[in-house]
Amino acid sequence: MESNLDTDGFTIVKSKKKYNSKLKLPISTQNQIKSIDSTDIDDLINKIERIKNQLLNYDSEFFVSKILIHLSKIIQDYFVQFPNGLKNRINLICYGLGSFEDSLTSRYQLVLLLIIIEELEKNYQVKIEEIYDPIFNDIDNFVIEKLLKYKPSLINNKCLKQVELGNQENCLTLVYMPHCPKALYNNFLFANWSRKHLKSFVLFGNSFATIQTLTIEENFQKYYGYLKDSLEFLNEFKLDSKCEFTNAFYDLSFITFKPEETSSPKNPFFNDDSPPLQLEAPIYDSTEEIL
């Protein structure tokens, strides 16, 4: 059944976009992965397409539709502060998807990202700032390049990337980090620990409230201070719908930040107009998983 749900600027319909299963590899990519049969890539693209159709046709509680509608509301609420601004833009940062070739969960998470991007492109200019995972192999990199017209980063910045505030355009950054280690969320917050930056992105990842519950209180304070302090001024919308055929989206939330709601955090904010030099970078014990 085709679903036509028009809310907050999103129209949710069956995808009619087909990926070409007979892919011709660019010369540069052929040279990089000579040992890989192109049928492996064809097969992976077809698996991704089947998962995409499965998610878009999954009617239980309008799983995908509810995600897109809530994201649309967050975006509209953000851009309403620029009534006379220039063209609105959505930047995208994505970490920790894992290998699509090796993991079914990773394929589901990639597919949801593809669906989100396609919907955003109907109303906004979408710019991919960074997609990275240290375990991406040549096939994973080519699939991203083929489907998103983006060549994945090869630099591991450990999620210490600062979001863009916008210059000639009003922009909001969507940070897609499903099921990343908590140190990486903490790193990303540290890199953006200024009032302006924290208000300029929405994070789609694991519930910070759940992370706090599952972490020993002493360790949470000692190693994850930015995560802990952010709980004082974040808004978290936890997905209440479940996808019955995968746990890839378990415990995911949309998280936005309103740092003006706290006056004296234990970790003072960076000066918005200065480089982040005042605060010490997080230090973790040897058991923490770092991307």
Rounded Cα gap, residues 109 and 24, in angstroms: 25
Residue at 98 is within a domain: yes
**How confident is the model at residue 289, as a pLDDT?**
62
Q: How far apart are CA 150 and CA 107, in angstroms?
A: 17
Residue 95 burial (CB < 10 Å; 0-12/13-18/19+)?
A: buried
Read off the pLDDT of residues 248-261 as tens digits, 9 standing for 90 and up: 898 999 999 998 87
Residue-range definition of the domain harbouring residue 244: 59-261
Number of domains observed in the structure of the chain? 1
Dig out the tokens for 267 from the structure: 């970790």
Domain contains 82: yes
The mean per-residue pLDDT over the stretch 260-289 comes to 71
pLDDT tens digit sequence for 164-217: 987 667 999 999 999 999 999 999 999 999 889 999 999 999 999 999 999 999
* Cα→Cα distances 236→41, 65, 94, 248, Å: 37, 18, 19, 19
Domain membership flag for residue 16 = no
Contact 105, 247 (CB under 8 A): yes
Residue 248 is predicted with a pLDDT of 85
CA distance 28 to 250: 37
In sequence order, what E strands does the chain have?
5-7, 10-12, 88-95, 125-132, 170-177, 201-206, 234-238, 252-257
The answer as to whether 1 is a domain residue is no
CATH code where residue 155 lies: 3.40.50
Nearest CA to 41 out of 54, 26, 52, 55 is that of: 26
Residue 196 within a domain: yes
Inside any domain, residue 29: no
18: in domain: no
**For the range 278-281, what are the long-range contacts, defined as Cβ-Cβ under 8 Å and sequence gap of 24 or more?**
279/190, 279/193, 281/160, 281/190
CA dist 75 → 45, 148, 256 (Å): 30, 21, 11
Please state, rounded to an integer, the average pLDDT across all residues of the chain: 83
Q: Is 192 left (phi over 0), alpha (psi -120 to 50) or beta?
A: alpha
Look at residue 79 and tell me whether its pLDDT is greater than 60: yes
With respect to residue 30, please indicate whether it lies within any of the assigned structural domains: no
Contacts of 11 (CB under 8 A, 6+ apart): 4, 5, 122
- For the beta sheet containing 170-177, the strands, ordered from the edge strand earlier in sequence to the opposite edge, are 125-132, 88-95, 170-177, 201-206, 252-257, 234-238
CA distances from 94 to 66, 130, 191, 277, 290 (A): 21, 6, 15, 25, 15
Q: Does 135 score more than 90 pLDDT?
A: yes
By the 8 A CB rule, do 139 and 44 touch?
Answer: yes
